[in-house]
């Protein structure tokens, strides 16, 4: 994208934790995602990055997304994605398994079967 074209993309302000991988550097680094659009994001925290570096960021409900560091300012950076994503997926609650989590389900009370007890 050239000029101010990137300013036309709608961005969602949010606060998410994400893992970041940097090309040529071992390991993953925690960053905070401050805003997100279909074409990129702004993150803060993590290691000092250079403009133009290839990175991968793991976004909730989306997975690993490849991008390039577009700008760096202090402890913040902008990452332009290689391919567009649906940013609303990252905002959606994490869903795994069937139904609601165990801690919000109605407890199941097991009734003892006295006929199955051994007589002494």
Q: In angstroms, what CA-CA distances link 120 with 92, 112, 113, 115? A: 57, 17, 16, 13
Q: Give the mean pLDDT of 1-17.
A: 63
What value does the mean pLDDT of the chain take? Answer: 83
The CATH superfamily label for domain 5-92 reads: predicted glycosyltransferase like domains (2.40.10.220)
Residue bearing the bigger pLDDT, 4 or 114: 114
Give the model's pLDDT for residue 1.
Answer: 43
What Rg do the C-alpha atoms of the chain give, in angstroms?
22
Q: Cβ(42)–Cβ(77) under 8 Å?
A: yes
- The residue ranges of every structural domain in the chain are 5-92
71 torsion bin: left (phi>0), alpha (psi -120 to 50), beta (else): beta
Q: Confirm whether pTM is higher than 0.85.
A: no
Tens-digit pLDDT profile for residues 55-77: 999 999 999 999 999 999 999 99
């Amino acid at each position: 994208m050239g000029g101010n074209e990137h300013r036309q993309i709608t961005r969602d302000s949010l606060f998410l934790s994400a893992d970041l991988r940097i090309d040529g550097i071992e390991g993953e680094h925690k960053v905070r995602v401050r805003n997100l659009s279909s074409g990129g994001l702004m993150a803060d925290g993590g290691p000092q990055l250079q403009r133009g570096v290839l990175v991968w960021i793991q976004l909730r409900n989306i997975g690993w997304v490849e991008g390039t560091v577009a700008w760096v300012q202090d402890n913040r950076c902008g990452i332009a994605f290689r391919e567009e994503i649906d940013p609303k997926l990252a905002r959606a609650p994490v869903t795994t398994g069937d139904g609601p989590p165990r801690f919000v389900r109605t407890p199941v009370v097991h009734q003892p079967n006295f006929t199955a007890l051994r007589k002494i």
